Amino acid sequence: MAIKKSELYSKLWAMCDAQRGGMEPSQYKDYILVLLFVKYVSDKYANDPNALIKIPVGGSFKDLQGLKGQKDIGEKIDIAITRLAKENDLVNVIDVISFQDEEKLGKGKEMVDKLTKLISIFEESALDFSKNRAEGDDILGDAYEYLMRHFASESGKSKGEFYTPAEVSRVLAKVIGVKKSAKEKQTIYDPTCGSGSLLLKVAEEAETKVNLYGQEKTVVTAALARMNMILHNNPEAVIEKGQSTLSNPLHKNELGNLKTFDFVVANPPFSSKNWTDGFDPANDIYNRFEAEKIPPAKNGDYAFLLHIIKSLKSKGKGACILPYGVLFRGNVEAEIRKSLIEKGYIKGIIGLPVNLFYGTGIPACVIVIDMENAASSKDLSDDEKGIFMIDASKGFIKDGNKNRLREQDIHKITDVFNKQIKVPKFSRFVPYSEISNPKNDFNLNIPRYIDSQEIEDIQDIEAHLQGGIPNADVEALNEYWEVYKTLKGELFSASKRKQYSELKITKDSINQTIFSHPEFVTFSKEMDTLFASWKIRNTKFLKELTVGIKPKQTIHSISEDVLKTYTDKKLMDKYDVYQHLMNYWNEVMQDDCYLIAVDGWKAEPYRILIKNKAGKEVDKGWDCDLVPKSVLINHYSPKEKQAIEKQEAQLEIYAAALTELEEDNGEGGVFEDFEKVNKAAVQKRLKELEAPVKKIPKKKLEYAMVAEPEAEYETEDKEKRILKQYLKIADDYSDLSSMVKNAKTELDIKTLARYKTLTETEIKQLVVEDKWMASIERNFKTEMDRISQRLTQRIKELAERYESTLSVVANDVMDWEKKVNGHLVKMGFTL
């Protein structure tokens, strides 16, 4: 059975993290990723004469396994990897780190143990990569990216620069227009490529085969990029290394000038202070810098941007991530910015949220360059040409100690940018005439042009003094009144004072009034019908999935249909609905589609074996990934399930009764002296109370009757009664618990047997309709519920805010003051 994509990722990271010990993540990643590469190519290409990578004798992962525990393991690993490198033109790529480095790996036994554990990480049977790849979806390449992201997150400030967050990379890939170009063999270049993740995201976006070029100063990071290219099926990518792109660009044409490309993307080091090392920008042989407009010696942001522009063809497109300060900083940077704007190079600016990048928390932006646009804008008026701006700073989700763009944020940014859509508080086209106006003076700080501030919830003093709800607050809910056209009249009436309204109903009836209103009911039904239409189309599509399908294409198809279905639907933000689908895809559906891509529609139960603290495997029952046990039971055994649930509810009642009895008779009660209250202890105490009483002489008996009040005999009877009551409930609980256990066992056996008879048609019904569509529908309904709750909560908030005027509050204070003073006088205090 194929491994689930998410399981592959989490297994790899968990094992890597567990074995890291005290080694720095930024260093440890190099060893892990090289071994991951060796393991993958060994599994994938061994014994294949036509393979992309040739696996030589002595250079496979199996050969590395044979070295575990050997004293010279480090030396022999280096030898094996060198053989693999020489066989495949990967010298100075996979062999750039030494497995004999005592400074990083320790000496003697410490090194042997550490390297043995490193190899052991990839020996898990689940990590057999020869059987676990959906062709075209780069499952292993994505795992490589996943590990790099985690290592970047763990590496700390300045050491995570080798990796650009995938979400940001996808934004750049989509806004430069690579998908629109039908040109074959488009060239894409990243002058500071790091581990190559940004380049690969652009390549993934292209619909035709592309040629990739990159340069990375750090040799080890460049090696990661080269391996990344191979794992993502781009072995022809040209990754130059060892030199700074600014001082010594290595991609040149036949004449020795800078090679130019169709597309250039980059995430250069922010505000580099040593960008001039190795050359004099005033005498730059590539003519990237104008006289009197050379970037500051201690800040290389514009140097990289100017290099990108010089590296673009006449119709080339580029995008660069830079710190937000490039938009407004003064002095020579202001002059460079003005020059770029006047030449029309800058097509757009996207302001990003803070704390997205590893190694820094400062805000950043994306500068989009369009050389073709610059050429055509020369004939336009100052009002026709300009820059499209987006303030995307507020769209993100917290992810550990970093922020991360959500799927909906990526899609909204790219949709709006590519279609040049004006969205209030989010985006607009800013004409050159406005940017060049002396008031702005070529300052591109986005808040100058887009006011994205949330409307302040202002307290109305007059309403606090005299009552009523401000009409301005009521009208602020206009998006609801456009849909529920008569609902406002049901909720509010005009006040005697202009600009104010009164709530016609009680606060407690707000929910009922809204949810039962005919227009609300009608709109809810319309939304149900809308989802049903999407469900019908996509249920058919999903049931037609077969072995070999590409899961990424699958989610693209159904998610784009969601956006199309909910476009221009009032109240429902299509991107919010889209996010619900993408969340479910990432959590469940993606793994299912990868299983189908490899194994087809197979429902294969498996035992759940978990190792305990002693390292012994413990059987925790069974389940099935594609068709979980719960889905099968819900479909074929609903009555048995309901009966068990009813009994379990009764068990909870019994358990609560026992707890209540114990608490009510604790301190000072029947169970006060009990070390532990349980059935055995209660039986023991009751046995003591019911033991035969020894005969007492008559005179002593009479004395006892006088000495011991009747109440004490009643106490003894009460104690017996409580103990017996406890035992009765405990027996009932025990009997019912046994019944539930037996019923579950019977249902378990019946359900497990049912898997053997499932047809492919039944599996498709269970997976697509009972599992996927049922979950997606529930998630979509939560969006409708959220929208409705937002209305009811706001109206209730306004009603509570202004229900008590200042005079009423003042009178209440006076009344309470009188009462307090009265109590103080009674207590003997003089006021």
Vertex 94 angle, CA 89 and 96, to 5°? 110
Spatial distance between the Cα atoms of 744 and 36, rounded to a whole number of angstroms? 43
- For residue 365, the Cα-to-chain-centroid distance in whole angstroms is 21
Q: Alpha-carbon dihedral of residues 479, 482, 488, 489, nearest 10 degrees?
A: 170
- Round to whole Å and give the CA distance between 329 and 334: 6
Q: With contact defined as beta carbons under 8 Å apart, do 166 and 201 qualify?
A: yes
- Which residues, at least 6 apart from 331, have a Cβ–Cβ distance to it below 8 Å? 296
Nearest to 233 by CA among 142, 305, 300, 323: 142
Handedness of CA 408, 413, 417, 418 (dihedral sign): negative
Can you tell me the distance from the alpha carbon of 606 to that of 623, in angstroms, rounded to the nearest whole number? 6
Please give the structure tokens belonging to residue 290. Answer: 């104008």
Return the half-sphere exposure (C-beta side, CA atoms, 13 A cut-off) of residue 617: 5
Cα–Cα dist 339/329, whole Å: 14
By the 8 A CB rule, do 182 and 208 touch?
Answer: yes
Q: In the structure encoding, which two tokens stand for residue 724, read together?
A: 């017996």
Q: Containing H/E element for 76?
A: helix 73-87
Q: Take residue 353 and report the two structure tokens written for it.
A: 């949220």
Contact 558, 593 (CB under 8 A): no
The DSSP secondary-structure symbol of 400 reads T
Q: Cα(795)–Cα(469) distance, rounded to whole angstroms?
A: 10
Which residues of the chain have a pLDDT value below 50?
Answer: 132-137, 157-160, 696, 698-713
Phi-psi region of 279 (alpha: psi -120 to 50; beta: other; left: phi over 0): beta
Looking only at the bridges linking them, the beta strands covering 261-266 and 312-323 are parallel
| Number of other residues whose CB lies within 10 A of the CB of residue 431 | 18
Which residue from 788, 786, 781, 783 is spatially nearest to 484, judged by alpha carbons? 788
Q: Which amino acid is at 267?
A: N
Give the other-Cβ count within 10 Å of 646's Cβ.
Answer: 11
Please give the pLDDT value at position 128.
Answer: 73
Q: What is the pTM of this model?
A: 0.85
Residue 158 tokens read as 């300045």
Residue with tokens 């004072």: 497
Q: Which residues pair with 502 in a beta bridge?
A: 493
Rounded to the nearest 5°, which phi and psi values hold at 634? Answer: -60, -35
3-class SS of residue 347:
strand
Distance between CA 322 and CA 301 in Å, rounded? 7
Which ranges constitute the DSSP H helices of 46-72? 61-65
Say how far apart CA 646 and CA 740 lie, in whole Å: 10
- Could you give the angle at the alpha carbon of 753 between the alpha carbons of 605 and 751, nearest 5°? 75
Query: What are the strands, taking DSSP E only, across 176-243?
Result: 186-190, 210-216, 238-241
Structural tokens at position 810: 């003042």
- H/E segment holding residue 739: helix 710-755
Residue ranges in 613-709 assigned as alpha helix (H): 629-636, 638-664, 679-689, 698-707
**Whole-angstrom distance, CA of residue 179 vs CA of residue 210:** 11
Other beta carbons within 10 Å of 388: 21
Give the other-Cβ count within 10 Å of 408's Cβ: 22
Nearest Cα to Cα of residue 577 among 422, 415, 785: 785
Q: How far apart are CA 157 and CA 358, in angstroms?
A: 7
What's the pLDDT at 45?
A: 83
3-state secondary structure 529-568: HHHHHHHHHHHHHHHCCCCCCCHHHHHHHHHHHHHHHCCC
DSSP 276: T
CA angle 429, 434, 439 (to 5 degrees): 140
In whole angstroms, what is the distance from residue 256 CA to residue 261 CA?
15
Say which residues have a Cβ less than 8 Å from residue 123's Cβ, sequence separation at least 6: 65
Beta strand 500-503 with 469-470: parallel, antiparallel or unpaired?
A: antiparallel
Cα angle 785, 786, 790; round to 5: 115
Neighbour-count burial for 56-93, b at 16+ CB within 10 Å, e otherwise: eeebbbebbeebbeeeebbebbbbbbbbbbeebebeeb
Give the list of residues 6+ apart from residue 227 with CB closer than 8 angstroms, or none: 33, 34, 37, 93, 94, 144
Structure confidence by residue, pLDDT tens digits, 512-556: 999 999 999 999 999 999 999 999 999 999 999 999 899 989 999
Task: Compute CA distances 236 → 141, 228, 264, 331, 438, whole Å.
Answer: 16, 12, 18, 43, 50
Handedness of CA 783, 784, 786, 787 (dihedral sign): positive
Per-residue model confidence (pLDDT) at position 710: 42
How would you class 495 by CB atoms within 10 Å of its CB: exposed for 0-12, middle for 13-18, buried for 19 or more? Answer: middle
Beta strands 346-351; 386-391: pairing state: parallel
**Sequence-distant (≥ 6) Cβ neighbours of residue 16 within 8 angstroms:** 28, 32, 121, 147, 150
Q: How far apart are CA 115 and CA 178, in angstroms?
A: 43
